Amino acid sequence: MKFETPAGINPIDQQKVIGQPASRLEGPLKTTGTAPYAYEYHQAAPNPAYGYVVGAAIAKGQIRRIDRRKAQAAPGVLAIVTAADVGQLPPGKFYADRLLAGPAVDHYHQAVAVVVAETFEQARAAAALLKVTYTQTKGAFDLTAAKDTAIVPKQGEFGGAPQTKVGDFEGAFAAAPVQLDATYTTPDQTHAMMEPHATMAHWQGDKLTCWCSVQQLNWGARDLGTILGIPQENIRLISAYIGGGFGGKGTALSDLVMASLAARAAGRPVKVALTRPQIFNNTTHRPATIQRIRLGATPDGILTAIGHESWSGNLPGGRTEAATASTKLLYAGANRFTELRLAVLNLAEGNAMRAPGEATGMMALEIAMDELAEKLHMDPIALRIKNDTQVDPEKPERPFSTRKLVECLQTGADRFGWSKRVATPGSVRDGQWLIGVGVAAAIRGAPITTSAARVRLNRDGIVTVETDMTDIGTGSYTIIGQTAAEMLGVGLDRVVVKLGDSAFPQSPGSGGQWGAASSTSGVYAACLKLREAVAKALGLNPAETQFANGQVLAGKRSYALGDAAKAAELVAEDTMTYGTLAKQYAQDTFGAHFVEVGVHRYTHEIRVRRMLAVCHAGRILNPKTARSQVIGAMTMGVGAALLEELVVDKQVGFFVNHDLAGYEVPVHADIPHQEVILLEDLDPTMSPMKAKGIGELGLVGVAAAVANAVYNATGVRVRHYPITLDKLLGKVNLT
């Protein structure tokens, strides 16, 4: 099915099942511990061996020699695999990192070997006996020091154009009566998902099956095939349940590659799980940024010049952190300039982490807007509303499909009590606590892409959906089930959803905020075909057939849905593809975040007291799972604002705090009351579902709202995240 014109009325608009707050279908499995994750498929491939990955002890250089004699002779050891055994492996398409070092070492903890033994303990003990000799060379580990060497990269597949210019930015900025020119920094951050990267691999002849933790299975099979030099069709990946990813499990990483190599060498199934330090230094992370923002405005608050430059670092061949993405679209302004620059660093690869680019860029832009509002003596919300636009600022001929940013800001202001805000910093106190409130706008792209599904109907009226879409805790099982139930007129209890198997029809997987809208559209297309097959089997005209309450109706004729499959199971498969509507319209999601903080007058401890998010993301497929996504993202935003920072050892070249003891993330005690308002809306330009993603919108802008609230409480403007109390000490007026 090809979607080429805006959607009209269709069965989804009934919203008998879609749009209802259904509980997650897989919830009971997860809460009882019976949902199998990658490391737990104990029956699928009996008698597995265990692999332990050995990471490089240097950040840049060469492997001179690997002495494996003691390790090979250790109890239980079955195999040891290094680049000397399998040759130099190329990277996949998505990641730039080579997932097995040798002879060159590109970053600390890059895999140099995997040791396979009968038990995990034996593999770990033997790995400690492996003696690796290196020749170390000088590397680059400091973005600030490497900033002047950064270049504007070539146009990439992700992140948009690295440089854009509209009008005369330099001239307009120089002439602007009110100017802001400020630099902001964000640190390296890690995904810190609960489930570690893990894989169990099993070869049967030249066919490879991996039970793994991969968000995009089609990309994973593609990249694993490229790395191992085998056809993609010989690979089957199964990721039925994923314990968090946030972009950190996008495609093939070292656990998948090393488990596959280990299983081939050992001649039996092998399990591999990365340790937490390996996850931090071996896999991907959100890279640090240095961002310069220049804003020019008239005295009444009209933006005349918007400039945003960002520097980030990566391995050779890696991508930039697309921090300017939101700035291109969020506010009106005739004269505009954005630029991304990339420096070569010998740290683990910087790559996608929830709302890549937008999250870091808005951490800077939305502080800058508050700083400009103060210069103008304007309310921060009024400044944002004044510079709203209903067309793409870089391409005015391209309107937004739907855009309710102003409504988000106004609705949030009313609910949060913004009118009671005291603009003068440090004016409101509660005992020994200085109280401040902050706001930030939110924008996140709403991409939608090709997705396929297969739908089955049996004689009992049970509908089964199959697609390789994954569920990383986002509710994919549930909204896909709701889509099928709505289309075929049955209750959710009559739908079985099977996900996370690359043998199923291809979806885009989980990531990029495209998963929900894309995968449900693929299911819609397959269900439309199944409806036609049902009507045909019952001798009905598909155009006149209705599906409701488990019945198929046409005029005065009525049949149970299962009657259509009495002779044989009915199966329908289809793929949703798209025309040019995404080029004709700017398709984005919008929101507003409000935060109240308390800062202790003497210790400068920061406590978030309450939070509100208002989100506009097309049709809300399930308000319960959507709210869950947003409050999780809000929590993540608090971490980015106040806690999270990968500390780089700039001599050795690695992340020092590489575990969950040293890398701080928010805990329950850090998070207060959170409220979410979902502005219901339909976007017919997206798909027949008229929905957009929401999982990343809930993060974008949160950290800036916290930062703005801290300033309102203390009068200290912190432009370098995270906002820790040492950055306030000695600067807060205690009188």
Catalytic residues: 696
Q: How far apart are CA 115 and CA 702, in angstroms?
A: 43
End-to-end CA gap in the chain: 68
Q: How far apart are CA 201 and CA 510, in angstroms?
A: 22
DSSP state of 706: H
Strands, E, within 205-256: which ranges? 207-212, 235-238
Q: How far apart are CA 100 and CA 228, in angstroms?
A: 11
Strands, E, within 205-333: which ranges? 207-212, 235-238, 270-273, 289-297, 303-314
Q: How far apart are CA 530 and CA 541, in angstroms?
A: 13
The residue behind tokens 């060498």 is 265
Determine the residue type at 730.
Answer: G
C-alpha 26, offset from chain centre: 21
Contact between residue 713 and residue 436 where contact means Cβ atoms under 8 Å apart? yes
Q: How far apart are CA 399 and CA 390, in angstroms?
A: 6
DSSP alpha helices (H): ranges in 229-282? Answer: 254-266, 276-282
Helix axes 623-642, 358-376, angle to 10 degrees: 70
DSSP state of 557: E
Burial of 513 (0-12, 13-18, 19+ CB in 10 A): buried
Nearest to 223 by CA among 242, 237, 211: 237
List, in order, residues 6 or more apart from 174 with CB less than 8 Å away.
none
Residue 507 in tokens? 């979806």
